[in-house]
Chain A
Amino acid sequence: MNNRPLKHSFCILVLGISVLECVHAAEGEIELGIGVSDNDDFLYSSFPGIDTSPFLVLNADLEGSSDDAVWRVTARNLGIDTRTLAADYENDAGFSLFGEYWQSPSRQNGTVSSPYVNIGSTQLELPGGWVAGSETGDMTNLQSSLRQFYIGTERRRYTLGGETTFGEGMTFKATAVYENKEGIELIGGAIGRGFGQVSPPYGTGTRATLLPVPIDYETTQLDLKLGYQKQRYGVELGYYLSVFRNGHDSLSWENPFSLDIVGGGGGGQFPLASSTGRLSLYPDNQFHRLSLSGNYLVGETTRFYGMFSAGLMKQDQTFLPLSANPVLSAPPLLPVSSLDADASVNDAHLRVTSRPMPKLSLKATYRFHSRDDDDRLLGAYNYYALDSSESGREIISSPYYYRKQEFDLSARYRISSKTSIGLEYEREDILRDYVDIEREDVDEDRIGAHVDFRPLDSLSLRIQGEHAERNGSNYVTAIGENPLLRKFHFADRTQDSITIRATYDLNDSVSLSASYDRLEDEFGDTVVGLRDADRDIVAFDVAYQINDQLSLHGFVSREEASSLQAGSADGVSVTWTADYDDTIDSLGVGAEWQAIPERLKFSLDLAMSQGSEIVSLSNTLSPVTPYPELTSDMLSIRHAVTYQYDKQTDFRFVYWHEKLDTDDWALDDQDVNSTPNVLLTGEQSPNYDDNIVMLSVVRRF
C-alpha cells in the first residue's frame, strides 16, 4: 500500500481539527478503528482500495463556528486507497473556500500475463531467446516466458476553490482541479498486411497482441466566474480551461509473431512484416471556453435566461513517423509535422419561463451546439496501416462539422389542487458534414404529455408518455459499406415511451411506490443493422417505520431489454439475425433497529443484482456456434452493530460480505494462446467471495 497519500490525509485532518479546536467551537465525530479482509480479492471488486489487511478505519465529520463563520471537515475511508478528504469555510461576509482530496483506484480483474520483460515501459521488449511463431501455438517458449501483472489505474484529484461577494451584487468564483491517473491498462496492437490496401488479401495475415500500456495522465482545470446580480437581472462571465497532458506519446512493442506469415484468403507471403510496431497514445490537448450568461425577470413570473459560449479545442502534438518498420525504406515526409488543430465549439442556450396565470406554467427553450474544425486539410499521402508495406492508397484527413439545434416548448396546467397536466413538443435538428457522411440532415420531432394526479392525500400518480419520429435527408451508404446498412444514430426511427409511477402512503408509517418504464425503438427503414430495441423496467419500493426503534426499506426491480440486429454476408439480402435478451433483477433491503434506545443499534444493507444476456442466432448460410450465456451476479451484505457507550462514545462493529460471480465468454477459459492470431493475456472474468470485518470507536465532541 502506498502510504504517502494516507500520511498527507492524516496530516490535513489533524491540521483541520487543530484549526477547529483553535476557534473553540468544533463539534462532530471521528471514527477510528481497524479492519481485516479474508483475502485481497477486493482489489478488483467494485470497491477497490483495500489492498492490504489489516487496514485503518478512519472517518470524520467535523464542524465549527465562530460569530460570523462556519467550518466543516469531512473525511471518508482515509485508511484505504479509496479516500476522500474535504473541507470548506464560509463567513457572513460572503466569502467561502473549499478544498478536496479524492483518490479512487479502478481495478476490474485479477492478474494477467504477458511475455514482455519490461511491463510499464513504452518500449516493450520480448525475452532473450524468444521463439516467434506464425500463430500463438507456435510460440514454444510462451508459457515459460509469461510474467504476471495487474491491470488497474488510480486517480488522484485535488480541488481548491472559493467564492467572494463584493460591491453591490458582484460575485467571483474560482475552482481549480488537478487530477492525475496512473497505472497499467491493456491495449491491442496489430502488425500485418494493411487494411485499406487496394488489392487482396486485405490484411488476412494480420496478428494482434494485447499489450500492457503505462498510463500517466494529468488534467488541470480552471473555472472562473464573475457575476453581477440585481433583483431583476443579472449577468455572468465565465472562463473554463482544461489542459490534458499525457506522459507517453506512443507505445512500441517487439512483434511476438514471426515475419514469414502467409496471408489467408489466397494471399502470398507477408513480404514486409515488421519486427516492431508502434501505436500513438492520446495526444496532449487543451480546451478553452468563454461564456456569457444573463437573466432578466419581467413582472413577477416571467424570466428570460440566455447563455452563449465559444470554445476552442487545441491539439498540436508532433506526429509519429508513418511507420516503425525498420525494413521499409525511409517513409515519405508528411505534409506537416503536426495537426495544429483548432476546433471551435460554440453553444447557446436561450430560455423563457413564465407563469401567466397561477395555474399555468410555460417554458420555451432553444439550444445550439456546433463543432467545426475546418482547417485540418493536410494534403494527401500514402500510409502504412499496420507497419507493413505501404498501403498504396492516398489518404487525406478531411474536416468535420457537426451542428445540433433543439427547440422545446412545454406547458403545465393545474386543473385542480389534485390534478395537473403537461404537454411538450421538442424538435431536434442535426447537421453533419464530413467525408463519407451517410446522411447530412437528421431531424426528430417529439411530443409528450403527462398527468399528475393526487386523488387522495395519501396517493400520487404520474403518467407520462412520449412519441418521437426521426427522419432526414437521403441516406447515401458510404463507399464500401453494405448498401442495406442504416447506422442506428442516423436511421429513421420511431420511439415511444411510457412511464407510470405511483406512491401510496398507507399511513404515517408505511409508504409504497411502484413504477413502470417502457421504451420502444423501431428503425422502420433498416434492413441491416439495429432494427428494433425495447426496454421494460418495473420497480417496487417500500418503506416501513414499524415503531420508533425499527425501520425497514426495500426495493425490487426487473429490467428486460431486447433488440434485434440483422446482417448480410452477401451484401444483397439479410443472411443472419441476432436477438439479444438482457434481464437484470435487482433487490435491496435495508433495516435499522434501535434494540436498546440510545444504547444499541443494528443496521443491515443488502444489495443484489442478477444480470444475464442470451443471444439467439439465425444464419441462413451456415451453422453458427451460439454464444454462451453472459451472466453477472452480485450480492453485497453489510451489517453494522453500534453500541453507544456514553453520549460521546460509540463502539461499532461492521461485517461486510460481497460476492461476485460472472461468466464472460470473451475472457473465460481463454489462455494467452487460445486464439491463433491474437496473443491474449489470460484475463478471466472476475469472481470473488470476500468478507471484511471492521471494529471502530466513534468519538463525538
Chain B
Amino acid sequence: MRASLVLVFCAALLSMAGQLFAAEMIGREGCVTCHTSMDHRAMLPHDMQDEDSCEMCHGPGSDHMDTESSKDIRTFKEKSLDALDEANDVCLACHGGAVERHWPASSHQAAGVGCADCHSIQHPGQPRPDASDMSQSCLSCHADIRSKTLKQFGHPLRHGQMQCKDCHQAHEPPGEAELRQITINDNCYTCHAEKRGPFLWEHEPVFEECTICHDAHGSIHPGALVRRAPQLCQQCHHQPHTRNPHSDEFYDFNPSARISRSVLGESCMNCHSRVHGSNHPSGLNLMR
C-alpha cells in the first residue's frame, strides 16, 4: 500500500514536471532562423507567413530549438506507429471531409502510410506532388507496378501522359482496387467506352473484367495482354477437330504452315477481330 502511494505520488510529480517543462511555441521567426530555406514566399494553401504557421503542424518548437534534435519536434518522418497516427491526425484535422471519412478504410491507412509519405507541403506551389511526378510518388512504394510501367505495352505513365491518379484514388476508395469508378470495367470504359456494349454477341470475359486478359500496368505483349495470342486464347478455347477449323495442336512458329494464320500478324485476331464483342448478326464467332 505504501509503495503504491509512492508510485502515485511520483507519477503525479512527473506529470506536473512535464507540464512545467513542456515545449513552448517560438513562432515562425524562431524557426526560420535556422531553417532559412523555409523563409520563402507563401505556399498556398499552407500560408507559411503566419506567425504560428510552422508549429501548427510541427508542434511547439522550443525544445527542438534548444537541443536541435529531431526527436524534440514532429518531423512527419517518425517511424513509430503512434507517431505516424498522430502525424496523420494533424493533417486530417484540417483536411476532413471525404478524405477523413474514407481514409480509415483505405488500404494505405492499413499499410501504415503517412500523409507525408506522399505529400510535401514545403516546396513552393506543391502541396501535392507535382502532376508530372505524381506517379513516381506511388511507384516508389509499388515497385512491382514500377517494373511494369517500363514495359513496352501499356498506358503512357512513364512520361506523365497519364498518372496513377487517373484510375486510382488513394484516399477515397469507392471502387474495388481503390479505383475511381465502382468496378474495374467501369474504370476502363471511361476511356474505352467503345468496348462497353452491350453487343449482340458478347465475349463473356470482356464484360466480367478486362484484367482477365489485360494487364493495365504494362506488358511485353501487344495490347498489354497477359499472354500473347494464340496461347492466351488457347487457355480458354481448346476445341477438338469438330465443327471448327482449328486443331488442338500447339501453334508453333512455322510461318509457311497453314496454322501461321493463327500465329503471325494479329494472331487469332486475324479472323476473330471482334474479340471485344460483335454487333453483326453473323458475328457469333466474333469475326464480323
Contacts and interface: CB of A to CB of B under 8 A. Distances in A.
A188 B229 CA distance: 14
A160 to B, nearest CB: 16
A322 B281 contact: yes
Given A202-B244, A674-B255, A675-B265, A27 B287 contact: no
A339 B198 contact: yes
Q: Is the interface on chain B under 10, 10 to 19, 20 to 34, or 35 or more residues?
A: 35 or more
A644 interface: no
A46 B80 contact: no
B278 interface: yes
Contact of B274 (A203, A279, A315, A365): A279
B245 A201 contact: yes
Nearest to A384: B282
B253 A660 contact: no
A382 B72 CA distance: 81
Interface stretch (A32-40, A138-146, A301-309): A301-309
B270 interface: yes
Interface string A651-685: 00000000010100111001000111110110100
B24 to A, nearest CB: 25
A16 interface: no
Interface in A534-577: 537, 539, 541, 555, 557, 559, 563, 565, 567-571, 575-576
A404 to B, nearest CB: 8
Contacts of A108: 153, 222
A217 B279 CA distance: 17
A603 interface: no
B279 A347 contact: no
B264 A680 contact: yes
B198 A203 contact: no
A82 B146 CA distance: 22
B3 to A, nearest CB: 26
A369 B207 CA distance: 12
Nearest to A488: B235
B252 A571 contact: no
B267 A666 contact: yes
Interface stretch (A6-14, A125-133, A454-462): A454-462
Nearest to A217: B194
B235 A487 contact: yes
A361 B104 contact: yes
Contacts of B242: 480
Contacts of B141: 501
Interface stretch (A116-124, A189-197, A254-262, A466-474): A189-197
A275 interface: no
Contact of A279 (B101, B104, B152, B288): B288
A241 B244 CA distance: 41
A70 to B, nearest CB: 6
A392 B88 CA distance: 68
B105 interface: yes
Contacts of B178: none
A617 interface: yes
Interface in A351-400: 351, 353, 355, 361, 363, 365, 367, 369, 371, 373, 376, 378, 381, 383-387, 395, 397, 400
A221 B207 CA distance: 20
Nearest to B175: A349
Q: Is the interface on chain A under 10, 10 to 19, 20 to 34, or 35 or more residues?
A: 35 or more
Given A70-B44, A188-B265, A485-B238, A369 B285 contact: no
B260 interface: yes
A596 interface: no
A251 B55 CA distance: 66
A689 interface: no
B182 A369 contact: yes
B208 interface: yes
A624 interface: yes
Contacts of B196: 242, 244, 285, 287, 313
B227 A210 contact: no
B168 interface: no
Contacts of B281: 319-322, 334, 381, 383
10 contacts: A46-B152, A104-B156, A279-B273, A287-B193, A319-B279, A419-B81, A457-B79, A480-B240, A565-B231, A586-B146
Q: Which 5 A-B pairs have the closest CB atoms?
A: A539-B143, A280-B280, A609-B150, A282-B194, A571-B240
Interface of B: 41, 44-45, 70, 78-83, 97, 101-102, 104-105, 110-112, 125, 131-132, 140-141, 143-144, 146-148, 150-153, 156, 158-162, 174, 176, 182-183, 189-191, 193-202, 204-205, 207-208, 212, 220, 222, 227-228, 231, 234-240, 242-245, 247-250, 252-256, 258, 260-261, 263-267, 269-274, 276, 278-285, 287-288
Given A283-B199, A385-B287, A418-B81, 14 more contacts: A46-B156, A210-B265, A210-B270, A282-B279, A347-B183, A376-B198, A420-B81, A454-B81, A456-B79, A488-B235, A586-B150, A611-B151, A625-B254, A675-B261
